[in-house]
Amino acid sequence: MASEHFGSQHYEIWQRKNREILEPFATALFVRDNTNGAWTAYCLDIQDTFQPPYSMKKSGTELHIFRGRTPLWTYDPVKRTVRTVRTEMVQEGIVVGTNAPGKWWLN
């Protein structure tokens, strides 16, 4: 859905859909430092429908993630966490290996 390189970091946003019609979509941010090659996944959101385009913008050391024009998440590369803008909830990622997205939802 979106892919960016900032410095030595590579960022990708993926959305997956379960095979069942009524199951939700899951959207994740994948981050890889080019020095180690391992991807870390952060589940951003669960939705019932496909969502509009996502984009990323670097500001200082942080990466801001937008859905449409609305900023929803902030990735902090120093702490390696994603913070939800609205609720301030912070989550740590899950290392999923060298192939993104792989089966990240199983980890």
- Please report, for the chain, the start and end positions of each structural domain, with discontinuous segments joined by +: 2-98
Task: Give the pair of three-digit tokens for residue 18.
Answer: 């379960």
pLDDT value of residue 53: 83
Q: Which residue has the tokens 């900032």?
A: 6
Task: Give the pair of three-digit tokens for residue 1.
Answer: 């859905």
First to last CA, the chain: 21
Whether pTM exceeds 0.85: no
Q: Which amino acid is at 33?
A: D
Residue 82 near residue 74 (C-beta atoms within 8 A): yes
- How far lies 94's CA from each of 22, 38, 44, 55, 99, in Å? 26, 10, 12, 22, 13
Per-residue pLDDT of the chain (107 residues; tens, 9 = 90+): 677 778 888 899 887 776 666 667 778 899 998 767 889 999 888 777 666 688 999 999 999 999 888 999 999 999 999 999 999 999 999 888 877 566 666 55
User: Is beta strand 25-33 parallel, antiparallel or unpaired with respect to 39-47?
Assistant: antiparallel
Evaluate the CA torsion angle 74, 16, 55, 3 in order and state its sign: positive
